[in-house]
Structure 1
Amino acid sequence: MPMFFLISIYLAFISLGLPDTLLGSSWPFITVAFNIPVGHGGFIAMIIALGTIISSLLTHILVKRLGTGKVTVISVTMTAVALLGFSMAPSFGYLIVFAIPLGLGAGAVDSALNDFVARHYAAKHMNWLHSFWGVGALLGPALVALLTNQGYSWRSGYFSVSIIQFALVALLLSSLSMWKKFEVTENHNEDNPINPQPNGMFSPFKAKGALLALMAFFLYIVVEGTLGLWGASYLVATKKVLPQVAAAGVSFFFLGLTAGRMLSGFASTKFSNETLIRLGALLVIGGLMVLLLPLPNFMIIFFLVVIGLGLAPIFPSLLHQTPIYFEGHDTQAAMGLQMAFAYTASIIMPPILGQLFSRVSFSLLPMTLLLCALIMLICTNRLASIHAN
């Protein structure tokens, strides 16, 4: 398999992560520029997320008609144009308009690439690719900070990422012939058990353990998303940690998540996906239990890293299991459903739990996430037993 082709997929995953964190890091500047309330950022984030859900559910149809390569090129082009639109938007209304193609493009390329990698690459690449997504997610805010500190506008951050995306489009266009080779092989291999004939968007629900798999994705995102969004508030409210230290702690959590996926790639050559999922879930459960204890700040941050390391292999390993868990069904549609469940969890659960914690007590955070992690472990263990043979 040509190295150039593999490199283009890795770069595509970095480009997936870049826009995901741009909105949050740029929003303080945008609110001043357009003289709008801070809360308006939620509308933009909601539109983007809804776009990703819709395109995730429809991607399998596009892939069957156009192929993964063309869908990826079109999707990245949409995100590049949308980001360019953000950089040139004269008012808030234009941000709403450009949020639509940004969400649709991001969801389509995410589902298409995850499905392609799950069917054609070893588990180590799925872990490493999601680690590269984390690199992109870390680079987005860093780029905004660098440019604004140099005196440039927030627009320069969106413009720069847009140029990067357009460069990736050119790279992907040059690799289209390689994508086609895979598609020709698939179309002529009627007996391929991991690429069955199309049989409907919701046919994956008929697979054994389908709801368990979807629930596992949902609960994983609840844990990761809630800890990422409300972790610092929990530390300040219940552990009396300084805000600066709390922010650093959450940064270390994401660092553990990103580094953990790189390490999981190596571990996947020795252990099965299901073993990594189980070990990761146990680490998360242990880390959340420790957060309930009265510990010094450095120990709290250490165990946030542990939780990040535990979460690291779960999502990519579950994705890589898709052709197995949904064998005999439309795995492309299954991938879209899983991504849609994940995006739905990211939209609804962190805000709901944030309201609960702020109205009752942030001390509920580790106990709530501990319950989610335990149910997730039960779901994944049950899935493993169903597909043991």
Structure 2
Amino acid sequence: MRNSKGFFSTLAYLTMFIFGLQVCGQQFILLDIAEEYAMNNTAMGALSSIGFIAGLCSTVFLGGLIDKKNQRLLTAVCTAAIAVGGLLVLLVPNFIGLVVGLTLMGFAGALLPAIVPVMLSKYDPAHSSRYASISEMFYSAGSVAGPLVMALVLEQGGSWRALYIAVTLVSVLVAAGIFWMHSPAVSVQDAEQGISLPKNAGSFLSVLTPTGLLLLAWGIAYSSVESGINSYAKPYFTEAYPNALAASTTIAIVGIGMVFSRLLASKIHKKKAEVAAACCLGGGLMALLMVLVPGAWSSYLWCILFGLIAGPAWPLAMSVAIDSFPENPGRISALLLVGSGTGGATVGVFMGMLADNFSLRVCFLYPAAMGLLSMALLLLVRVLNRKKKKEQAA
């Protein structure tokens, strides 16, 4: 059992489920937390940014460790840190305990999307897209489960702290399992070839190439599409085109669509950049349709289709990034997450400006444009990678 690659992979995927459960469940209960601590809108907004800021710091300053240290132990430590953060929220019943706990969970959890696909791909490099897609599928499943479970708990009169009870318990079990497991053996083919890392492995210099910078820009652009639609769907269906069902379920429906499409994407091992670029274009098109063909139910359909169409974009792009930098997969994965975090932080500002100066409908032009840009960036990455292969073959 300790040497089972299948069991090891399952535990690794569960860390992504935990991260999705915590992040999206927390966004759902944010208003309940604010009411208990008598927070104003500014304080509530700051609280929602804590995890993002902590996660951005961890990927920038610790992302290099992914290529240098034992990835199994890093995964276990990050998962255990999430459990400790949950315990702080539960056992220190004041605002300081809440802030410290959320900061620790955000700091540790943000590294998991970079560690898990890299760790699993190392033992089977030919199927990196499978591991990236299934990892993101588990994250999407957690992002759906968090809001739905907490909606049920709160409806029955339960406390928002139930989320952190669940996160803590599952994190403890998964972290203990990963600590107990042995790292899977490297494939015979890789062992014969010999895996050696260059001296600068783990440094930013190793990935700050034209390809790396394009992938960073792609992370910013694509995150603006996904975060923009998820963030502004509720006000869109509350104020612009009232639809109570859509307002309360859009995020979950998008997540469910991504679970299925990312599962299908795990079967894609060729033309990954092209497929991901097409998904980016399709996601941007759904945002554009919310502007050109708006309506309470038509726009709900565009959101549903967005989850199904755009879902494979992130895991396939992550796989392309890992394939582009086989000596530094951890650092390029972390760089991609830095781009994603930056896009997620800025999209609200730009869409808010469009909404204030024009309308909620018009603000969806921003994610539509970012979808087109993200497609172009991935196609440029494809061109550079093909050029590199030709030079190496010559």
- For 2:77, give the aligned amino acid: I
- The SS at the match of 1:100 is helix
Q: CA deviation at 1:21?
A: 1.4
Structure 2 residue aligned with 1:46, among 24, 46, 49?
A: 49
Structure-1 residue corresponding to 2:214: 212
- For 1:247, give the aligned amino acid: S
Structure-2 residue corresponding to 1:112: 115
Distance in structure 1 (CA, Å) of the matches to 2:249 and 2:213? 36
Structure-1 residue corresponding to 2:248: 247
- For 1:248, give the aligned amino acid: T
1:316-327 map, 5 Å: 316-327=315-326
- Are the counterparts in 2 of residues 282 and 310 from structure 1 also a CA contact under 8 Å? no
Structure-1 residue corresponding to 2:183: 178
Structure-2 residue corresponding to 1:24: 27
Structure-2 residue corresponding to 1:376: 374
C-alpha spacing 1:48/1:209, structure 2 compared with 1 (3 Å):
same
- The SS at the match of 1:178 is coil
Distance in structure 1 (CA, Å) of the matches to 2:243 and 2:212? 43
- For 1:95, give the aligned amino acid: L
- Are the counterparts in 2 of residues 280 and 314 from structure 1 also a CA contact under 8 Å? yes
- The SS at the match of 1:321 is helix
Q: CA deviation at 1:95?
A: 1.4
Distance in structure 1 (CA, Å) of the matches to 2:76 and 2:94? 29
Q: CA deviation at 1:320?
A: 0.8
Structure-2 residue corresponding to 1:198: 200
1:200-279 map, 5 Å: 201-238=203-240, 240-266=241-267, 268=268, 271-279=270-278
- For 1:357, give the aligned amino acid: A
Q: Percent identity?
A: 16
Structure 2 residue aligned with 1:157, among 145, 155, 163?
A: 163
- For 1:386, give the aligned amino acid: L
Structure-2 residue corresponding to 1:134: 140
Distance in structure 1 (CA, Å) of the matches to 2:207 and 2:279? 26
Structure-1 residue corresponding to 2:103: 100
Q: CA deviation at 1:117?
A: 3.4
Q: CA deviation at 1:354?
A: 2.1
- For 2:278, give the aligned amino acid: L
Distance in structure 2 (CA, Å) of the matches to 1:135 and 1:232? 20
Distance in structure 1 (CA, Å) of the matches to 2:334 and 2:272? 20
Structure-2 residue corresponding to 1:336: 334
C-alpha spacing 1:6/1:127, structure 2 compared with 1 (3 Å):
same
Structure-1 residue corresponding to 2:61: 58
Structure-1 residue corresponding to 2:359: 361
For structure 1, the residue ranges without an aligned partner over 5 or more in a row are: none
- For 1:291, give the aligned amino acid: M
C-alpha spacing 1:46/1:287, structure 2 compared with 1 (3 Å):
closer
Distance in structure 2 (CA, Å) of the matches to 1:27 and 1:308? 24
Q: How many residues align?
A: 381
C-alpha spacing 1:52/1:189, structure 2 compared with 1 (3 Å):
farther
Q: CA deviation at 1:205?
A: 4.2
- For 2:330, give the aligned amino acid: Q
Structure-1 residue corresponding to 2:346: 348
Question: Which moved further from structure 2: 371-380 or 196-205?
Answer: 196-205
Distance in structure 2 (CA, Å) of the matches to 1:185 and 1:236? 56
Question: Which moved further from structure 2: 245-254 or 271-280?
Answer: 245-254
- For 1:261, give the aligned amino acid: R
Structure-1 residue corresponding to 2:291: 292
Structure-1 residue corresponding to 2:17: 14
Distance in structure 1 (CA, Å) of the matches to 2:78 and 2:115? 10
C-alpha spacing 1:36/1:88, structure 2 compared with 1 (3 Å):
farther
- Are the counterparts in 2 of residues 118 and 322 from structure 1 also a CA contact under 8 Å? no
- The SS at the match of 1:292 is helix
Distance in structure 2 (CA, Å) of the matches to 1:183 and 1:359? 57
TM-score with structure 1 length normalisation?
A: 0.88
The CA RMSD measured in Å over matched residues stands at 2.7
Q: CA deviation at 1:182?
A: 4.5
